[in-house]
Amino acid sequence: MDRGIDLSDASDAAVVVAIGRWREDALAEAYRRHAGAVFALAQRLIHDRAMAEEIVQEVFVRLWDAPDRFDPARGSLRSFLLAQCHGRSVDLIRSEESRRAREDREHMQRAEAGYDLEHEVFDLAMAEQVRDALGDLPEGERRAIELAYLGGHTYREVAALLGEPEGTVKSRIRAGLRRMRSSLAAAGVGGTA
Amino acid sequence: MAETYTHAEVEELLGVYALDALDGAEAAEVEAHLATCPRCAAEVLEHREVAALLAHSGSPAPDGLWGRISDSLSVPPPVIDFDRASLARADIDSRPTGRRGWAVRAGALGLVAAAVLIGILGVRVRDLDRQIDQIDATDLAVKQALADPGADVVKLTSADGTVGGKVVISSAGPDFLVASDLPALADDRTYQLWGVVEGNVISLGVLGNQPDVVSFETSGRVSTFALTDEVAGGVVVSTQAPVATATLDS
């Protein structure tokens, strides 16, 4: 009798269906596919390996406990997991005010100094088309997106870091994301429809 | 929370919201708007897909982390919610069911009276309309059965696709017929569930005229299930064409 689906060739949606049937091998498959990216994002945001691992664990245990929260019609599993990772990481950052203040100073220095080595290494892990799309953005949009998403800052903090009006930062982040989406779609990357 | 931002004001915040770059109060305003505006909700999802690409990494996760995750999983939990059960069923329901070939088996139903093995296989049926607590217990049991990775769910289907019901075959414990979507019969009629075990047609239970969830146990492997519409009290041998059937993959 057919007891399940072949996970190695299964879509992410089918893997999550199998997780819904309490198949641990399905969760392991989701982990194999996406945990590296989830961990990299958490570590990038909180600069703490042990805490990043805790967040990865939390994200995948939550997927195990409530797989129905993922709706394949509303985006990819990777973006779903990364959004949870990002939200949890940011919560953690913002709950530690002293840490926040320290990182603000660090990021201010980076914003002033321009490119930092850590960022460069992170960039190298990106797909070429994504790196190109980010690189093609106007500098103000690129910097605002990086500070918000990869730095975990609120847009008000980003505005302070860059010395720009808050309204400008809001607009630049939205415009930059839309511009990236268009250029990635033109390059056939992302399946962002 | 009452929504105080205009659509245009929220639109300006969608990018920063998608990147978790709003503070709590503003995020709550956006969320209130998203609940009522599919266009803005779709834009947030698009932004998050782009953001996910920014986080791209080919690096594997740290060694040992999967082991800790695996150790911390609840397997299986005592209770699952219906959404989870629905999610699990969606996959299984897409598999082919056994409409084809029932005409042959229906004929067999009338021919194998001597082979009816009610009792021999230890069939036990409980009509769950009788006691509320029993319903609750069975609901829990069927949910657990649906969560069992070894369980199979097969859909009973009529020729025209209008009559349904599902059979949940557990890897351990009783099996279930989930028949809440069957149309009610007249008071003097009853549904009866049959199974074909090694070529023999077995009555698996008289279900009443409006069954919900019924558990049953067999000691043999059922290859085909069928539901018939019978006189109240049920029959030993059916001469009715089944209202719905399901055949298990061999």
* Mean pLDDT computed over B136-141: 65
Gap between the Cα atoms of B248 and B220, Å rounded: 14
Sheet holding B175-178, edge to edge: B152-155, B166-169, B175-178, B213-216
pLDDT bin (cut points 50, 70, 90) of residue A115 is: very low
Query: A-B interface: how many C-beta pairs under 8 angstroms?
Result: 207
Q: What is the pTM of this model?
A: 0.57
Its ipTM equals: 0.83
A91 has a pLDDT exceeding 80: yes
- Tokens 């010395």 — which residue? A163
Q: From B207, B179, B184, select the one nearest B123 (Cα to Cα).
A: B207
Alpha-carbon distance of B63 to B154, in angstroms, equals 40
- Among B47, B61, B87, the residue with its CB nearest the CB of A35 is B61
Q: In Å, how far is A17's CA from the nearest CA of chain B?
A: 5
Q: Which residues of A touch B246 (CB under 8 A)?
A: none
CB-CB neighbors (< 8 A) of B61 in chain A: 31, 35-36, 38-39, 56
Q: At what angle do helices B38-54 and A77-94 cross, to 10 degrees?
A: 80
pLDDT at B79: 37
User: Which of A135, A170, A138 minimizes the C-alpha distance to A153?
Assistant: A170
Contact criterion met (CB < 8 Å) for A68 and B87: yes
Beta carbons of B49 and A190 less than 8 angstroms apart:
yes
Q: How far is CA B128 from CA A126, A192, B11, B132, B245, in A?
A: 57, 48, 52, 7, 22
**If you measure CA to CA, which chain B residue comes closest to A180?**
B50
Nearest CA in chain B to A158: B21
Tell if the CB–CB gap between A17 and B88 is shorter than 8 Å: yes
Q: What's the maximum distance between 2 C-alpha atoms anywhere in chain B?
A: 77
What would the pLDDT profile of B195-231 be if each residue is shown by its tens digit?
A: 887 777 788 888 888 888 877 777 677 888 888 888 8
Substitution target from B49, B89, B167 for chain A, most A beta carbons within 10 A: B49
Average the pLDDT over B73-93 and give the result: 44
- Mean pLDDT in residue range B189-196: 86
Tell me which amino acid residue A145 is. Answer: I
Task: Give the three-state DSSP class for B202.
Answer: strand
Contact: B16, A28; criterion CB under 8 Å: no
Q: Is B19:A145 a contact under the CB 8 Å cutoff?
A: yes
pLDDT digits (tens, 9 = 90+) for B147-175: 776 777 788 887 777 767 888 887 767 78
In three-state secondary structure terms, B115 is helix
Amino acid identity, position A160: A
Q: Which helix (H) or strand (E) holds B226?
A: strand B222-231
Q: Which residues of A touch B21 (CB under 8 A)?
A: 148-149, 153-155, 158, 173
Task: Mark out the alpha helices in A66-191 (DSSP H runs).
Answer: 77-94, 97-113, 117-124, 128-135, 139-145, 155-162, 166-186
Residue A8 sits at the vertex; the CA angle it makes with A128 and A52, to the nearest 5 degrees, is 60
Q: Do A20 and B87 touch (CB under 8 A)?
A: yes
Residue B47 and residue A177: Cβ atoms within 8 Å? yes
For residue B250, which of B224, B227, B220, B225 has the smallest C-alpha distance? B224
Considering only CB atoms, B21 lies closest to which of A38, A134, A158, namely A158
Q: Helix-strand-coil percent breakdown of chain B, rounded to 5?
A: 35, 20, 45
**B152–A2 CB contact, under 8 Å:** yes
Which chain A residues have a beta carbon less than 8 Å from that of B11?
174
Q: Give residue for tokens 């558990």.
A: B215
Q: Judge: A149–B49 Cβ closer than 8 Å, yes or no.
A: no
Sheet holding B200-208, edge to edge: B200-208, B189-197, B222-231, B244-247
Residue of B177, B78, B164 lying closest to B124 (CA atoms): B177
Q: Distance (Å, rounded) from C-alpha A181 to C-alpha B95?
A: 37
pLDDT of A112 > 60? The answer is no
